[in-house]
Chain A
Amino acid sequence: MFKKDEEVNIKNTETVIGQSIKVKGNFFGDGDIVVEGKLEGAIKTSNNLLVGPKAIIKADVEAKTAKISGEITGNVVVENFLEITSTAKINGDISASQISVESGAVFNGNCLMTKVEEKIEEKKDEIKK
């Protein structure tokens, strides 16, 4: 389905939304998610997300890492690494601590780089509390 990637590596796939499937609603999971079909609503996972080249997502997206090759209309919030490939079309704001954008990708929105160090300090403060 996808070539193995050093950064966004899908190992523990909990959900696969195939090409002929349309999901409507709030889709929240703990495992890795692969989207090849359509999704409307919201999608959130505490692990990795892969959006295939034919996928169409009209939703806000949250994930630990993400590789986007399809179309997303909505905001994308990624905790660690966000990879945007040449076939991706993103209409919305993106936020991640590391971003890679391949030539040919379409992106209309604001980009916010979050710092990993800040998050580590926040977590340390939370533990102390």
Chain B
Amino acid sequence: MNIFVYDSFLSDKKHQNTISKIETRITDLGLSGKIIRLNLLKNHLDSIDGEIKRGAKTIVAVGNNETLNKVVNSVLSSNHPDASKIPIFIIPVGKENNEISLSLGIENYNQACEVLSSRRIEELNAVEINSSYFLSEARIQTMGTKVEVDESFTLEISEQGNIIISNLKIDKQKALKNHQSLPNDDKLELFVGLKKDKEIKSAFMFKTLLVSNKIKKIIIDKSVEITTPAKITLSNKKLKTIVGKNRSF
């Protein structure tokens, strides 16, 4: 059965029309399934894990980057042996905070329903950060941040900007040649994007990263805050992900 995970922000009346259109199209395509509505009192990990145990065929995040991150974390944290075999997907609702769906080749909710129907599956890397996971990127401000790379060297950055740990490129900043952040290349990249520069001018490949900042937190998948110190490494778990033809990789 397809499981549709509706994020809590969708209960806002302004999204009702969109949700109705999505549900109609899903029914027309014969993809209907069970709807789980997330709310502040419901633990998404338990809710989605319960559906994994009951034999979910596909888990569809309906919402934004944060919704997809919740699904990613639920699937990868599940102890069920079949969890890693279940494809995940996102139907984006709203134009803001939906950069990951664009990189996956899903432009809007209308097209998303067609992409779900075509079921083109790619196996993508996931990144582990402390006890959580992310699919696209982790980002923290440069000032006050200490970075240790592969227990071999440290980075000190004297200008304002961002440190970006990238698995799947989601921003529009021009990438360096040979650093395209492909989520299926088993590589992790660290970029430093300075405020004064229009393009990225520093890049490193790494296996393990230790990041600390006494004040600032790391933002993963452009939506979830993670406190430091944080250990970041490529997860040995993969994500079966339904993607569109126009994906960025």
Q: Can you list, as one digit per residue, whether each of B69-94 has a CB less than 8 Å from chain A (1) or not (0)?
A: 00000000000000000000000000
The reply on B201 being an interface residue by CB < 8 A is: yes
- B205→A21 contact, CB < 8 A: no
Known: A17-B202, A18-B201, A19-B201. Contact between A24 and B176, CB under 8 A?
A: no
Q: Given A15-B204, A16-B201, A17-B202, are A22 and B177 also a contact pair (CB < 8 Å)?
A: no
Determine the residue in chain B with the shortest Cβ distance to A22.
B156
Q: Which listed residue (B153, B156, B178, B201) contacts A27, Cβ 8 A?
A: B153
> How far, in angstroms, from A11 to B201 measured CA to CA in the complex?
16
Chain B residues within an 8 Å CB radius of A19: 201
Cβ contacts under 8 Å, B159 to chain A: 20
CA distance A17 to B157 in the complex (A): 11
Q: Does B155 contact A (CB under 8 A)?
A: yes
Please give the distance in Å from B190's CB to the nearest CB on chain A: 10
Q: Does B194 contact A (CB under 8 A)?
A: yes
User: Are B154 and A25 touching (Cβ within 8 A)?
Assistant: yes
Assess whether A14 is interfacial by the CB under 8 Å rule.
Answer: yes
Of chain A, the residue at the smallest CB distance from B196 is A20
| Chain B residues near A15 (CB-CB < 8 A) | 203-205
CA distance A36 to B194 in the complex (A): 14
Measured CA separation A12–B176 after assembly (Å): 11
Q: Which residue of B has the minimal Cβ distance to A43?
A: B153
Given known A15-B204, A16-B176, contact A21–B154 (CB-CB < 8 A): no
Given contacts A20-B159, A21-B192, A21-B202, contact A13 B177 (CB under 8 A): yes
| A127 nearest CB across to chain B (Å) | 31
Instruction: Check if B158 is an interface residue, CB within 8 A of chain A.
Output: yes
Complex alpha-carbon distance, A65 and B167, angstroms: 30
List of B residues within 8 angstroms of A116 by Cβ: none
Distance, CA A31 to CA B177, complexed state (A): 13
Instruction: Say yes or no: is B131 at the interface (Cβ < 8 Å to chain A).
Output: no
- Write the nearest CB–CB distance from B211 to chain A, whole angstroms: 15
Bound complex: CA A36 to CA B197 (Å): 14
Interface size on A, residues (CB 8 A): 22
A-B contact count, CB below 8 Å? 57
Q: How many Å lie between the Cα of A35 and that of B149 in the bound state?
A: 17
Contact B178 A18 (CB under 8 A): no
Q: B152 touches which one: A13, A20, A26, A37 (CB < 8 A)? A: A26
Which of A13, A23, A25 makes the CB contact (< 8 A) with B178? Answer: A13
B residues in contact with A16, CB < 8 Å: 176, 201-203
Interface string of A25-40 (1 = CB under 8 A from B): 1111101000011000
| Cα of A28 to Cα of B153 in the assembled complex, Å | 9
In the complex, are the beta carbons of A28 and B194 less than 8 A apart? no
Give chain B interface residues in 178-209, CB to chain A under 8 Å.
Answer: 178-179, 192, 194, 201-205
Q: Which residue of A lies closest to B202 (CB)?
A: A18
Q: Does A104 contact B (CB under 8 A)?
A: no
User: CA of A41 to CA of B156 in the docked complex: distance in angstroms?
Assistant: 14
* Residues of chain B lying within 8 A (CB to CB) of residue A36: 201
Over the window 44-72 of chain A, the binary record of Cβ atoms lying under 8 Å from chain B Cβ atoms (1 yes, 0 no) is 00000000000000000000000000000
Residues of chain A lying within 8 A (CB to CB) of residue B203? 13, 15-16
Contact B154 A23 (CB under 8 A): yes
By a CB distance below 8 angstroms, the chain A residues around B202 are 16-18, 20-21, 37
Q: List 5 A-B contacts (CB under 8 A).
A: A13-B177, A13-B178, A15-B203, A24-B154, A27-B152
